[in-house]
Amino acid sequence: MGNNKRNSFLFLLLIVGTLLLFLLNISLGSVRIPIKEVINSLTGQQVSKETWDYIVVNYRLPKAITAMLVGMGLSISGLLMQTLFRNPLAGPYVLGLSSGSSLGVAFVIMGAGILPGFMAAFLVSSYGIILASCLGSFGVLIAVLVVSQRLRDTMAILIVGLMFGSFTSAMVSVLTYFSNAEQLQKFTFWSLGNLGNLSWISISILAIAVGIGLSLGIYSIKPLDSLLLGENYAKSVGLNYKKMRLVIIFATSILAGSITAFAGPIAFIGLAVPHIAKLVFRTSAHNKLFWSTLLFGAMIMLFCDIICQLPGTDITLPINAVTSVIGAPIVIWLLVQKRSF
């Protein structure tokens, strides 16, 4: 069938594209490192300049890996949310998770003045922020789960998540109102997202969390397909709806929660990438959508990160600025092109 050939070809393109962008991401930046040298460095061979090797291994490689994990994790959680809630505007943060993270971090950065000196110092360190973000999103997750167990209607969970999001955002606003300029700047920098500066331990933890989330996502492929016909039909083919809903919410929470904890709230990727995959592959079958979303997510994140580095200059842009600016026109262009959903 022509369609199968087209799909195979596209997947090949995606895999090659991801590899290329990975190498390009490591190569470009304020210091331009030739791709050949990048490969040398990654494969443990002799690199012409020692500084290049140092930069690749200690800065660029961790950042590129983080970018891929973030891109894959957020886009898959976006896909899960969009199918579960049957809402094309749903994204990984629709359950209020990033608002919970923001609240946790806001407490730490702006509320730490209330606590004694040594505690404040720990909290404002990077580990304190990661911990606070996790606790914040975990808190919102528990709240959403408790409420969702009592709700039969899945749409109501969407609204509850949005309401928790608004609530926590309001509290963050109050905190910002009472902070000084330095605290405010610190918090703003966090909320603009950052893919760099993660230790290898942090990356390993992030990789494990993303791995768990993605595995749960793969496990959900068959149930998500049955949901394409609506809840009634899904149950009639044997789907345990409540269990599936729980698994999907949990998968999203692990993915979005861990990513936000280590990289801050990265906007737009979770919402846009599933649509890009759907528009390019023109299918609703979740086995194809899963892998295409995964690869598109990795590619787009690597690409946005390259732009953030503004290669050749010393300036870097915050990642959140770039993801939305790149992502929105792509989705609009694809929609206008294909006129399909």
Q: Residue numbers of the site for another protein (CB under 8 A)?
A: 3, 86, 218-219, 221-222, 225-226, 228-230, 232-233, 235-240, 278, 282-285, 287, 340-341
Report the distance separating Cα 51 and Cα 67, nearest Å. 22
User: Measuring CA to CA, which residue among 301, 296, 248 is closest to residue 273?
Assistant: 296
- Our CB check for another protein shows the closer of 67 and 294 to be 294
Distances (CA, A) of 80 to 141, 179, 234, 257: 16, 37, 16, 15
Give min distance, CB of 163 to another protein, in A: 24
- Our CB check for another protein shows the closer of 283 and 324 to be 283
Give min distance, CB of 83 to another protein, in A: 9
Query: Under 8 Å CB-to-CB from 122, ≥6 apart: which residues?
Result: 128
Virtual torsion, Cα 268, 282, 228, 78, nearest 10 deg: -10
Give min distance, CB of 290 to another protein, in A: 10
- Our CB check for another protein shows the closer of 166 and 287 to be 287
Helices (H), 150-180: 154-177
**How deeply is 4 buried, as exposed, middle or buried, from its count of CB atoms within 10 A (0-12, 13-18, 19+)?**
exposed
Give min distance, CB of 19 to another protein, in A: 26
- Our CB check for another protein shows the closer of 60 and 278 to be 278
Give min distance, CB of 258 to another protein, in A: 25
Report the distance separating Cα 135 and Cα 68, nearest Å. 24
Q: Which residue has the tokens 């995606």?
A: 14
- Our CB check for another protein shows the closer of 63 and 286 to be 286
Cα angle 156-145-93, degrees, rounded to a multiple of 5: 70
Give min distance, CB of 120 to another protein, in A: 49
- The Cβ of residue 127 has, within 10 Å, a number of other Cβ atoms equal to 11
- Our CB check for another protein shows the closer of 63 and 278 to be 278
